[in-house]
Chain A
Amino acid sequence: MPEVPLLKLENVGKEYFGNRVLAKVDFSLNRGEILGLVGENGAGKSTLMNILFGMPVISGTGGYEGNIVLDGRVVRFNSPFDALEAGIGMVHQEFSLIPGFSAAENILLNREALNGSILELVFSERLNTLDRPAMRRRAARAIQTLGVDIGVDTIASEMPVGYKQFIEIAREIDRTRTRLLVLDEPTAVLTETEARILLDALRKLADGGISIIFISHRLQEVKSLCDKIVVLRDGNVIREESARSASIRDIAAWMVGRQVDDSRPPRTGKVSDEVALSVRNLWVDMPGETVRDATFDVHRGEIFGIGGLAGQGKLGIPNGIMGLSPSGGEVALFGKKIELDTPRKALDSGMAFVSEDRRGVGLLLSERIDWNIAFTGMQVQNRFLRGIPGLGNLVRIRDDAAIAEETERYIRALEIRCTGPGQRAVELSGGNQQKICLAKAFSMRPELLLICEPTRGIDVGARELVLNTLRRYNEEYGTTILITSSELEELRSVCDRVAIVGEGKIAGILPATSPAERFGLLMMGAVGDGDEAAQREAAGNA
C-alpha cells in the first residue's frame, strides 16, 4: 500500500477582489521530503502558503477554493494557531520578530519554559514565572541545530538581517510538533556562505523526518537542496519535476515561459577619473551593521559594489551616507561636503536611495503605488505639482494625472505586476514591491544612486531586467551607482569595482573581474583577524 502523503493540495484556488491569483493547484508532499516551490514574482507562491497557514488575510478576502489534505484528512485552518496546532511551521517572507526581545525570548515566544508555582494550581499557567536558564538552553540548542553562532541574549532589533532570519527559523524548529516547515524566501537576505549553512541545517531536519516547502528565487539553492520542484506560473502548476533531473536553465524557462538570457552586453559606460563620491573615516551607528572606519572613493559614472558578510557593516555605509542612521566622518559628492544625519541634505545634493528594509523604510504600504513612486520626487524636487486654474501658481497641488502617468511608465519598464497605479502597495507580491522601490529611486533621476540589495526577492527573469536597467541607467545618464548586496556574484556581474567590508572597515577593493577566490579571501579575512595584505590593497586602490 502506498504511503499517504503528509500534505496534499487538491484544486486549490484563490481570487483577490475578482483578480485570480491561483487557479487549480495540485501537488503532494511526503514525509521528510523537501519541495522547492518556484515561480515568477506574483505567481502566487506566498498566497498559496498563506492559505496553507490559515493567514487572516485569506479569510478576510473571501477564503479559498479546493482542499488541503493533511495526513489524509481535509483541513481548513481559520487562523495560524490552528495551523501551528496541526504541526505546520512557517517563516514568512517578511520578518515577524519582536524588536525589543532577545533571541531566546523570540524563539520561545508563547512556549516559554515555566517555573511551577502554587499559583498555577489555583489559577492557571499564565501566572507562572519564566524559567530563564531553561529558556536560554533551549534557544541555544535550536540555534545550534542551524549551525550558526548567535548569542541567545542578543536583542532582535540589534541583529543584522541575516541573523534575524536564522532566529525566525530557530523559532519554528523549537516547536516539538512541527511536521511541516514552510520557508518563504528564507535566503533572500543571506550571503552565499550563510545560505549554505542554512541549507545544510534544513537537510538535517528533513532527514529527521520533517517535510519542508522551500521558496526561493535562487535556483541553484533550490536545485541543490530540494527533492522535488513545483513550478507555478500565473497561479497554475506548470511543472512538477524531480530536482535531480531538472537543470537550472530549464527551471528558469518554465518559470517565466521563455528562455532567460543572463548574458549581459559588454560594458560601454565610461568611468571618468573625477571622483563622484568621496568617503573618509565614515562611522555609522546602525544596529547590527556598525561601520567603524570606512574610506573609499567612487568615480563618476562608475558602478561600485559593496559586499561582505551579514553584520560586518556593508549596509551601514549607504544608510550612514543617506543620514538615516547616526553617523560621522566626511562624505563629499563632487567635492561638496554632505552634512550627515539629515536625509534631506543627501537627497538635495542629488542622491537617491533604495533601502534594504522594504517594508519599514522603503514603502508606504497602505498607500497607492503611484504615491509610493512619486512621493520623494514631489517632496525633494517639487515635481508632480500643478497650479490651480484661476489662481496661477499661488497654491500648488498634487498633479494626480502626472503621477499616474509616471507610474504607468515604470509599471511597463519594470514589468510590475499590479492592477494599476491605484493599487495599494501592500497588495503586491514581494518582488513587485521591490520593483516599486527601484522605480521610486529611478524616478528621482539622481546623480548618485545608492541601492541596497537591489534584487532581493526578485525572480530570475526580473533580476536580469533590474540589473540591465541599472546598467542602462548608468550608461544613458552617466549615473554613478553604489550597490550593496549580499550576493557577490551579482556584484561581480554588474559592477566595475567591488569593495568588501569586514568588521566595519573596508577590507579591500578589487576590480569586479578579479577571480572569486580573492574576494573569498577578503571576506574570510573579515571574519578572522583582519588581513594585513587586504588592508594595504584597499589603501592602494582607493
Chain B
Amino acid sequence: MLKKFIATAGWPRVIIGLFLFALFVAAPFVGVRISTSLSDTLVRFGMNGVMVLALIPMVQAGCGLNFGLPLGIIAGLLGATTSIELGVRGALGFAVAVGLSVPIAAVLGYGYGQLLNRVKGDEMMIATYVGFSSVAFMCMAWLLLPYKNPTMVWGYQGSGLRTTISVNEYWFHILSDFFSFKIGTFYFPTGMFLFFGFMSLLMWLFMKTKTGTAMTAVGSNPEFARASGVNVDRMRIVSVVLSTIFGAIGILVYQQSFGFIQLYMGPFYMALPAVAAILLGGASVNRATIFNVAVGTFLFQGILTMTPSVINSVLKTDMSEVIRIIVSNGMILYALTRKAQVKR
C-alpha cells in the first residue's frame, strides 16, 4: 500500500512533501503562525499556477520545457500596461488586459514557433535565448513606448515606463478577492483558485481534443504522427502559441495578486521557477500532466514560503531573501537532476 503510493508519487515528491510537512509541524514551535504560512503558500500557488500550466503543451508536443516563457510574459505585460493606459478599472480593466495580451501572445508565439521548427532537437537552448533576448529587447522598448498615464511613466521625465507599476487603483486582487474568505489570520483567495481551475479545465479539454491528441503523438513519435496524416510543424506551432498565451494570462493573474507590474528585468526570472515546479511535480522533458502542475507548484511554492520564515525565526535575523534564493535554486537543481521516471 505505502510502497505503491511511493511508486506512483515518486521518491522526489515524497521526500519534498515530507520536508514541507516537517516545516509546517516545526513552524509553531519557533513562533511562525501556521495559518498565515498556509495562506501565503496558497496565495503563491494561485499566483504561479497558470504560468506553470503554460508549460504543458510544449512538453507534450516534444518542444521541451518552455524556457522562452518570458515571451508570453511580455505579451501579458503589454496587455496590462495598455489596459492601464486606456484607464479602464476593475474587472473590465482586467478583462481588457487579458483581451489585449492574448492576440499579442498569439502573434509572438507564432513567430517563436516558426523559429523552433527550424532548430528541431535544440529547442530548449534556443528557447532560453529567445527568452533572454526578448527581455533585453523590451528593456529598450519600455523606455520608448509612447505611454502617457502618470501612474506608469517616470515622473521627472514624463516618458518611459517605471520598473514597477502599481495596479492598486486598477485591478488589484480582482480575482483573489472574488468570494475570498478569512478565518482569523487565514485568508483563502477563492477567485484565484477558481480561475486556476478554469484554466486547468480548458487545458485538460484541449489535450483531449483531436488536436491535443495529435500534439501528444507528435511529441511521442513525429514519424508516426506524420504517417498518420498529421502536420507535425503545425502542431508544434500550435503548442508554442498556446504556451505563450497561457504565459501571458499567467502573469496577469500574478500581477493582480502581487499588486505590481514588474517591467524590464522582471520577466527574466519567471521561467525557471515554473520549470522547476513542473519538474518537481513529476513531469519529464517529454511528458507533463495537470496533476504534475498542481502537485509541483504546491510543493515548490510551499517550500519557498516556509523555509525562509522558519529559518528566520530560528536565527532571529532577516535573511529571507538569501535563503529564498538558496532554497529556490537548490530545488531547481534538484528537480533538473531527477531523471524522469517512466510511470505506468
Contact = CB atoms under 8 A, between A and B. Distances in A.
B169 interface: no
A342 to B, nearest CB: 8
A131 B118 CA distance: 36
B322 interface: no
B209 interface: yes
B29 interface: no
B231 A395 contact: no
Contacts of A324: 226-227
Contacts of B231: 344
Which range holds the interface residue count of chain B? 20 to 34
Contacts of A424: 344
Contact of A375 (B208, B213, B226, B287): B213
B316 interface: no
B221 interface: yes
A397 B342 CA distance: 26
- For B214, B227, B228, the residue with the greatest tally of chain A CB atoms inside 10 Å of its CB is B227
Nearest to A399: B208
Interface string B198-230: 000000010011100110110011011011111
Interface string A345-377: 001100001010000111111110001000110
Contacts of A196: none
Given A382-B210, A388-B205, A355 B227 contact: yes
A398 B214 CA distance: 11
A511 interface: no
Given A376-B228, A379-B230, A398 B213 contact: yes
A364 B218 CA distance: 9
Contact of B223 (A17, A361, A380): A361
A150 interface: no
Given A324-B226, A375-B213, A379-B228, A397 B221 contact: no
Contact of B227 (A322, A367, A382, A398): A322
A366 B341 CA distance: 13
A396 interface: yes
A379 B209 contact: no
Contacts of A49: none
Contacts of A344: 229-231
Task: Tell me the dominant secondary structure on chain B's binding face.
Answer: helix
B229 A343 contact: yes
B209 A397 contact: yes
A375 B217 CA distance: 8
Contacts of A397: 205, 208-209
A266 B236 CA distance: 50
Interface in A373-408: 375-376, 378-380, 382, 385, 388, 395-398
- For A343, A371, A424, the residue with the greatest tally of chain B CB atoms inside 10 Å of its CB is A343
Contact of B229 (A366, A367, A379, A388): A379
A364 B217 contact: yes
A382 B227 CA distance: 16
B205 A396 contact: no
A379 B214 CA distance: 7
B344 A376 contact: no
A360 B223 contact: yes
Interface residues of A, number: 31
Nearest to B231: A344
A401 to B, nearest CB: 13
Task: Tell me the dominant secondary structure on chain A's binding face.
Answer: mixed
Given A343-B228, A347-B229, A378 B213 contact: yes
A207 B110 CA distance: 64
Nearest to B221: A364
Contacts of A355: 227
Given A17-B344, A361-B223, A363-B221, A398 B208 contact: yes
Interface string B70-94: 0000000000000000000000000
Nearest to A426: B342
A250 B57 CA distance: 54
Contacts of B217: 364, 367, 371, 375
A366 B226 contact: no
B224 A363 contact: yes
- For B205, B210, B229, B230, the residue with the greatest tally of chain A CB atoms inside 10 Å of its CB is B229
Given A375-B213, A395-B209, A361 B229 contact: no
A205 to B, nearest CB: 35
A410 B228 CA distance: 19
Given A396-B210, A397-B208, A364 B229 contact: no
Contacts of B227: 322, 324, 343, 353, 355, 361-362, 376
Nearest to A427: B344
Contacts of A366: 220, 287, 342
B205 A375 contact: no
Given A398-B208, A424-B344, A376 B229 contact: yes
Contacts of A375: 213, 217, 224, 228
A343 B287 CA distance: 26
A364 B220 contact: yes
Given A364-B217, A364-B221, A343 B226 contact: yes
Interface in A394-434: 395-398, 424
A376 B227 CA distance: 8
A347 B209 contact: no
A382 B210 CA distance: 8
Nearest to B204: A397
A104 to B, nearest CB: 26
A343 B222 CA distance: 13
Contacts of A395: 205, 209
A379 B209 CA distance: 10
Contact of B228 (A347, A360, A388): A347
Contact of A398 (B209, B221, B229, B287): B209
Nearest to B209: A397
Contacts of B213: 371, 375, 378-379, 398
Nearest to B213: A398
Nearest to A355: B227
Nearest to A60: B342
Given A379-B214, A380-B228, A380-B229, A367 B208 contact: no
A385 B205 CA distance: 12
A94 to B, nearest CB: 14
A181 to B, nearest CB: 30
Contacts of B216: 367
B3 to A, nearest CB: 12
A365 B230 CA distance: 17
A364 B210 contact: no
Nearest to A444: B228
B224 A364 contact: yes
Nearest to A322: B227
B153 to A, nearest CB: 43
Across the A-B interface, give the 7 residue pairs with the lowest CB-CB distance, nearest first. Answer: A344-B229, A397-B208, A376-B228, A347-B229, A361-B223, A364-B220, A398-B208
10 contacts: A343-B227, A366-B220, A371-B217, A379-B213, A379-B228, A380-B228, A380-B229, A382-B210, A385-B210, A398-B209
Interface of A: 17, 322, 324, 343-344, 347-348, 353, 355, 360-367, 371, 375-376, 378-380, 382, 385, 388, 395-398, 424
Given A344-B231, A353-B227, A376-B228, 4 more contacts: A366-B342, A371-B217, A375-B213, A395-B205
